């Protein structure tokens, strides 16, 4: 797939990450378990580091829509899943059409011999498109996009394009890339950094939140005539809490958003969602809140982005359908009319879907 150099000139080169669908061990049946602060911090740093070695590229006919590149977890042991979303509106806020999604996974094979028996045995890393969850298109579609991950030891200095993991959402008949596999000690080291053991309910929540949580991030305040919308990087992972409640558990999940400025440093907007999970993993009532301002640069569980962000929990719909209607919404640096906390019911948000339980 060919891409226009205009992508990086307009700020459409994004950092990113993702995960692969291999035959992973099944998640435990337990709904959710408490985590330590160190475990939560490890996941937050792991996903941020994967974002830092990844990119989302737009095609030749990109039409200035905003986009989000998101990473979470797709297996109990911590292999990654991801979603690239070309959103409904452009940087000026004009609606151009329904959103389009490219879902993917990334993960390692077991350690295997190479073709040359004198070479050390290695883990191959695979980036793979999820075909049943991806909006496929053609090279000339304005929403053609590709996800790139650098698995090497030193992404900032790597000049060898043949070492990169690349997939896209272009139809195979036009030379699309459904999967790639490479050796990569750098990414392999990242994937084994945290000792994860997510439950089936956790993995289901990660999948659902990636498809329901949508954000508009602005260069300044939303009401500023000069404000523009920004591309975003995002990660979803577990929080510390998992408290027993009648019929289940109330567990916490974290969402980190990184609006991508044309110039300057990435700053974070952190959110927490408390979700009531039934004993069967079903999603009940939930509370979403924007976490308060950071007191230091290295602090976690807080927000530091200079511009306003509006985060909503949408109702999912099929491909080629415009998103409409009110949604539970919270704001970071918003005006008095936009709250920092919102409560909602997953039963209402997921009405008519098969997503209410794993």
DSSP code per residue over 12-61: --B-------S-PPPPBS-S-----HHHHHHHHHHHHHHHTTEEEEE-TT
pLDDT of 112: 81
Rounded CA separation 3/183 (Å): 25
* pLDDT, position 25: 44
At a CB cut-off of 8 Å and minimum separation 6, what does 314 contact?
212, 213, 214, 323, 327, 349
Residues 319-341: what's their mean pLDDT?
A: 92
Pair type for strands 54-58 and 65-73:
unpaired
Position 12 pLDDT exceeds 50: no
Mean pLDDT of the chain: 90
> Contact 136/169 with Cβ under 8 angstroms?
yes
> pLDDT at position 1, please?
41
169-204, pLDDT tens digit by residue? 999 999 999 999 998 889 999 999 998 989 999 999
In this prediction, residue 109 carries a pLDDT of 83
At 81, list the tokens.
């899943």
- pLDDT tens track for 78-93: 689 999 999 999 999 9
CB 16 within 8 A of CB 71: yes
| Helices and strands: H and E segment counts in the chain | 5, 16
Sign of dihedral through CA atoms 327, 242, 298, 187?
negative
* In the chain, domain spans: 6-349
pLDDT at 123 exceeding the cut of 90:
no
Bridging pattern class, strands 165-168 and 248-260: unpaired
pLDDT tens string 220-263: 999 899 999 999 999 999 999 999 999 999 999 999 999 999 88
Q: What is the pLDDT of residue 111?
A: 79
Instruction: Residue 147: name the closest of 70, 32, 253, 46 by CA.
Output: 70
User: In which element (H, E) is residue 202 found?
Assistant: helix 200-212
**Phi, psi at 6, each rounded to 5°:** -60, -25
How far apart are alpha carbons 71 and 190 in whole angstroms?
Answer: 14
Mean pLDDT of 60-66: 95
Contact 31, 248 (CB under 8 A): yes
> How much is the pLDDT for 120?
85
Residue entry with tokens 């160190």? 38
Residue 330 clears pLDDT 50, i.e. is over it:
yes
pLDDT at 336: 85
Q: Is the pLDDT of residue 18 over 90?
A: no
Does residue 26 surpass a pLDDT of 70?
no
Instruction: Kindly indicate the confidence band of residue 27, based on its pLDDT and cuts at 50, 70 and 90.
Output: low
Residue 91 and residue 72: Cα distance in Å, rounded?
25
Q: What angle do CA 173, 178, 181 make, to 5 degrees?
A: 135
pLDDT at 212: 98
What pLDDT was estimated at residue 235?
98
């Amino acid at each position: 797939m060919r891409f226009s150099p205009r992508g990086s000139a307009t700020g459409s080169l994004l950092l990113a990450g993702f995960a692969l669908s291999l035959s992973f061990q099944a998640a435990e049946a337990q709904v959710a378990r408490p985590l330590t602060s160190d475990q939560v911090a490890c996941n937050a740093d792991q996903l941020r580091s994967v974002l830092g070695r990844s990119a989302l590229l737009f095609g030749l006919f990109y039409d200035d829509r905003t986009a989000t590149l998101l990473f979470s977890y797709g297996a109990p042991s911590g292999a990654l899943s991801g979603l690239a979303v070309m959103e409904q509106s452009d940087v000026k806020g004009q609606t151009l059409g329904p959103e389009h999604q490219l879902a993917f996974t990334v993960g390692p094979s077991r350690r295997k011999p190479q073709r040359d028996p004198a070479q050390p045995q290695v883990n191959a890393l695979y980036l793979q498109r999820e075909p049943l969850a991806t909006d496929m298109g053609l090279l000339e579609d304005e929403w053609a996009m590709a996800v790139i991950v650098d698995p090497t030891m030193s992404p900032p200095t790597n000049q060898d394009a043949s070492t990169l993991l690349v997939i896209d959402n272009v139809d195979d008949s036009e030379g699309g890339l459904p999967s790639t596999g490479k050796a990569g000690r750098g990414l392999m080291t990242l994937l084994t950094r945290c000792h994860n053991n997510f439950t089936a309910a956790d993995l289901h929540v990660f999948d659902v939140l990636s498809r329901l949580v949508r954000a508009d991030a602005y260069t300044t305040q939303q009401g500023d005539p000069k404000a523009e919308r920004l591309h975003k990087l995002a990660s979803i992972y577990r929080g510390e809490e998992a408290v027993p409640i009648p019929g289940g558990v109330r567990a916490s999940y974290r969402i980190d958003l990184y609006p991508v400025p044309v110039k300057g440093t990435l700053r974070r907007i952190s959110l927490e969602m408390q979700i009531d999970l039934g004993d069967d993993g079903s999603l009940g009532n939930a509370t979403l809140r924007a976490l308060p301002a950071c007191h230091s640069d290295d602090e976690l569980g807080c927000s530091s982005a200079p511009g306003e962000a509006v985060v909503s929990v949408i109702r999912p719909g099929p491909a080629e359908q415009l998103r409409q209607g009110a949604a539970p919404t919270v704001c970071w640096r918003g005006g008095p009319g936009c709250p920092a906390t919102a409560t909602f019911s997953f039963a209402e948000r997921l009405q008519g879907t098969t997503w209410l339980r794993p």
